[in-house]
Structure 1
Amino acid sequence: MLRVLIADDEAMIRGGVRAILASDPGIDVVAEAGDGREAVELTRLHRPDVALLDIRMPGADGLTALATIRSALPGTAVIILTTFGQDEYIARALDEGAAGFLLKASDPRELIAGVHAVASGAACLSPRVARRVIGELREGAVSRGRRARELVSVLSDREREVLGLLGAGLSNGEIAGRLHLVEGTVKAYVSAVLSRLAVRNRVQAAIIAYEAGLVEEGGRG
């Protein structure tokens, strides 16, 4: 059973999200918060697998809460849930370690799938957000690609394989199946890759994989 916290300053939004998640028997909403400070406190208390945070809340906004949660409770994956699609929010959320970024207008099935994805160690970006991120990557792709290739050059062949599949959006379990490894071994490889690339989460690693041209290579693996 996945334990989820919802943080939004609008009770109606919290109720709607709770109702959507309640339709999945594998998800249990363990706490609700109306502002960022309360979200951090309740996350420390309940230690949910996933925290859904609105970006704009009184007291401390979602990005501030995100930074605190990722620092103090790295076992909790964070999805930023918002009505806003501005690029600066996306970039800041990813830089602070968000595992996912969904718009409140997303399909309910996308929300449920996102919770399961980040809980399993994968990343989750709504299609509209993914298009923005990919668009940014295409601008200045040559210089970023060169830097990304330099970064991945320090990885072993197996680590590059793992990074390519991670970049293709596969979870640890799916990577294990593709490479005929046990999931614990894949988890160790992922941790090593994140450390050697000096990135904070799988989303940032996936961006490097994309820029270095490993995603298609990994997907064919």
Structure 2
Amino acid sequence: MEIPTALKKSFPLVKSMEIPKLSRLPSNGKSIIWMHLRSGQTIAEQLAPVKAAAPAALIVVMSDIPNDLEALAAFSMLAKAYCNTHAGAEVLLNIASVVEQGGIWIGESIMQKLIGGAAPAAPQLDLAIGKWAKVLTGRELEVAKAIAIGLTNKEIASKMHITERTVKAHVGAVLDKLQLKNRLQLALLVKEG
């Protein structure tokens, strides 16, 4: 896959590597892997082999069409950053700096949702944390976990051998039972729990 222009400009020594060759990277936790997502596979399917080959590497996930659920899925797989493949050189340098210092780069959109009222009210959250899984049926729990790793309704339906309509019903029931507003809140809750 071709290396994005801004990435080449920011890091002239960056090179494309096949997954098996990632095991040659130093295991000191200083190597950054800039991983360009491919379509047709879940984030879990793409990140798991990278994490297995280079467990100490710092992974930055780059997406051609970034979205919040995909970002959450990347972070649930222990990525250190998630950004647009077409981000400018200055942004990429900032991302590298944050990640190298042990931080996590969260884009503005998802940060606004986390800070700007996307979290459930404190009493609702207290009710849900530690107990949220107990109020769900087995199928609802399975759907909640699938949402947390970034699967779409269609992917969940295929995986569980049910219709998309049934998935939507499960998602609605889960959100109602846990008093959550959206899939983002659900993904955050599952990740924390």
The answer to whether the 8 Å contact 1:79/1:101 transfers is yes
Higher relative CO (CA 8 A, sep ≥ 6), structure 1 or 2? 2
Give 2:105's match in structure 1, choosing from 124, 128, 136: 124
More strand by share: 1
TM-score by length of 2: 0.53
Q: Write the mapping of 1:5-84 to structure 2, written as runs, cut at 5 A.
A: 9=1, 11=2, 13-22=3-12, 28-29=13-14, 31-33=15-17, 38=18, 40-47=19-26, 49-56=31-38, 63-84=44-65
Residue equivalent to 1:95? 76
TM-fit CA distance, 1:100: 0.7
Tell me how far apart the structure 1 counterparts of residues 117 and 34 of structure 2 sit (CA, whole Å): 25
Deviations 1:163-208 (A, max 9, x none): xxxxxxxxxxxxxxxxxxxxxxxxxxxxxxxxxxxxxxxxxxxx89
Deviations 1:82-123 (A, max 9, x none): 122223211211111111111234332121111122122111
TM-score by length of 1: 0.47
Number of residues paired by the alignment? 131
Give 1:86's match in structure 2, choosing from 67, 70, 90: 67
Distance 1:145 1:61, change over 3 A: same
TM-fit CA distance, 1:133: 4.5
Tell me how far apart the structure 2 counterparts of residues 32 and 114 of structure 1 sit (CA, whole Å): 19
Structure 2 unaligned spans of 5+:
132-187
Q: CA RMSD in A?
A: 3.4
Tell me how far apart the structure 1 counterparts of residues 8 and 123 of structure 2 sit (CA, whole Å): 43
Give 2:94's match in structure 1, choosing from 102, 107, 113: 113
